[in-house]
Amino acid sequence: MKQFQSLPDGNNLVSEDESFEMGFFSPGNNSNRYLGIWYKGIPVRTVVWVANRENPVRDNSSKFSINSEARLVILSHNETLVWAANSTTKRQVVSPIVQLLNSGNLVLREEKDSNSENYLWQSFDYPCDTFLPGMKIGWNLKTGLNRQLSAWKNWDDPSKGDLTWGVVLGTTPELVMWKGTTEYYRSGPWNGERFSGKTTSLFQLEFVSTNDELFYTYNLNKDSSLITRVVLNESAYSRQRYNWIPENQTWRLYSSVPRDYCDNYNLCGAYGNCLVNESPPCECLTGFKPKLSRQWEALDWTEGCIQSEEWKCREKNRDGFQRFSGLKMPDTTKSWASGNLTLDDCRVKCWQNCSCAAYANLDIRGEGSGCQIWFGDLMDLRVASVPGQDLYVRMHTSSTGSSNKTNSSEESSKRGQRKKLVVAIPVSFLLVLMIVLTFIYLYWRKRKLREKIENISQERGDEARENKFELPFFEFDTIVRATNNFSSDKRLGQGGFGPVYMANSSQREILDWPRRFNIIFGIARGLLYLHQDSRLRIIHRDLKTSNILLDNELNPKISDFGIARMFAENQIEANTKMIAGTYGYMAPEYAIDGRFSIKSDIFSFGIILLEVVSGRKNTGVFYPNQGFNLLGHAWRLWKEGTPMKLVDACLGDAFTVSEVLRCIHIGLLCVQLHPEDRPNMSSVILMLNSENNTLPQPKEPGFLIERMSINEAGKTSSDENKINSSTNEITDTLLEAR
């Protein structure tokens, strides 16, 4: 182990395996000096711990050493104390030394204990914003030490910010994130395998509860060489996990919480269940109704839900329990737990207490064990992102269809099992028969629907040929005047059916922010109609700014449906070998694999939204010094916490900052790499309309232009599909039968 007794500014200490390095540094544009620990072998300096985060040194003449009381201290050039480590040891220390371990843990111990874990002090007990493998988040119950993370104030200032994350003591402790003193996110209680709201297969998670300690920790799976860290991000108000990718020499975001707006604490109020893929996301549990209907209909769910019919405590056959599966368990602040009771015992105990609202197993391993009981309103419910556990909620028997009776004797239990077996066999047979018949029906219906769509297309083609469409007719002289004798100055663009002209094609200066926001909202409503409200779902496939026309009142109109596709009612996505569209607007899964869906249109909408905000086009690399197109530039600014630098300079200061920031945020949500991460259009409109809901943090976008190369044959290096495209935003459309 490398060790020292005094370390002046300019000298660094390196761990034995050279994984970590410690020394004085200045973060970002800050000239102050801090003592920190960072990764040794990673070229991008990534600081994982700071000693004097609240007490910076003003020059580079300070030093880090061990004082006469065997405490770690930072002294300025005139020997003034700048920082001192907390110390709880009361024994006499003969020869203290400092070591930086391969785990990134800075430890103080006696030289004779150099091969043991008998530390006098360790940095892992005083974490900053980073959670490394082997660290503990939680409590030392003997000393009262609370290990919790706190974010840096900003990229240049490592002092404590508003965002903190740690373990809350209670009957069933949970991991909780706070904004200041306000609870912002909670993990759900530990259920023996994981916290009820999250899981992972890459790491070994462990929650330890003894008389001396209560903490959460994680380690890498055996033989893993992964470099990973968890960090609190003040600018994004999230807890993020990053993995180091050696091939790209970059940190890649692996996960982030809150993951979505359902992760925001108690979004739907008491007894309100949050479903992230629904719009609106909040609904009352079965057997409950909105407490204030008008507020609920106005998308204000803070008052939550109440019972549709009040339970009658302890009255025979008047109240029982309804089972809900797959939920994140409610807030455990008002709960009680016992590891010795069975689930049946738990039910009886809850039913006998008129204040008990719900019960569940404490531990889900095996067949389940232990008992947890909730009192008062159930708060912060949501559908779990991983298989959740069963929660039994108290309500009137008219809602549950069950009573409060339980079989207490072994014989009654056996009788019940025999009855279940007698019923299960014929039910299973009928279920298989129903599945077979359902598949036959769905196949027949699909054939009929395809024939119907083909007939509709044929009929509409016949009507077009017979001039039965009620389209406006213009005299040739009118068109000549409107296009200034077909001048190229009036041309918007050119597609497979010829050039397009319109009168508002070059009036960027008159597009103030209210008009731009109106255009964004109008495009969103148009897409919602195509994706959801139209009789047949329509995927545009070539959505871009040059296909958005503005009328005399600057209202947007989506145009050029030459390569659009119609979906059947139950169709989600389709594949094509003939890829048509415009690079810079095509979603990665469409450009590479030929898969398109409503989510590929939403990717294009996200690009358009960023273009409207910035006044720049995404196509072409216009940040040559940085190698970014518009999307890459926007993502870099977002990660740096300066997204407002993206705003078009033509707007000056005449815009609403929160509204513009929300639009940038939504745009980045729409262009995320994986289609399932992107919102649908109903969610986009809800986010555009609302200033109150906290939006989920965006993941890395699909940098299509940067990551794809096109050869002379028009094929990508990663795919052999034929691609009809152009870099000048002219769509090459191939006419083919639909």
Residue 672 has what DSSP assignment? Answer: B
CA distance 226 to 85: 31
CA distance 300 to 292: 9
CA distance 661 to 122: 41
For domain 491-724, give the fold. Transferase(Phosphotransferase); domain 1 (1.10.510)
For residue 225, the model assigns a pLDDT of: 86
For residue 209, the model assigns a pLDDT of: 85
**Contact call for residues 550 and 517 (beta carbons, < 8 A):** no
Residue 42: how many other CB atoms lie within 10 Å: 16
For residue 421, the model assigns a pLDDT of: 56
| Four-residue CA torsion sign, 233, 237, 238, 243 | negative
Question: Tokens in use for 109?
Answer: 């111990």
Dihedral of the alpha carbons of 128, 129, 134, 139, in degrees to the nearest 10: 60
**Contact call for residues 175 and 134 (beta carbons, < 8 A):** no
Q: What is the pTM of this model?
A: 0.55
For residue 200, the model assigns a pLDDT of: 53
Residue 390 has what DSSP assignment? Answer: E
Sites in the chain below the pLDDT cut of 50: 1-2, 401-416, 418-419, 460-472, 495-497, 501, 505-506, 621, 624-625, 627, 704-738
CA distance 279 to 120: 55
C-alpha neighbours within 13 Å on the C-beta side of residue 239: 25
For domain 1-126, give the fold. Agglutinin, subunit A (2.90.10)
With H, G, I as helix, E, B as strand and everything else as coil, classify residue 213.
strand
Q: Give the catalytic positions in this structure.
A: 542
Buried b (16+ CB within 10 A) or exposed e, 222-244: eeeeebbbbbbbbbbbbbbbbeb
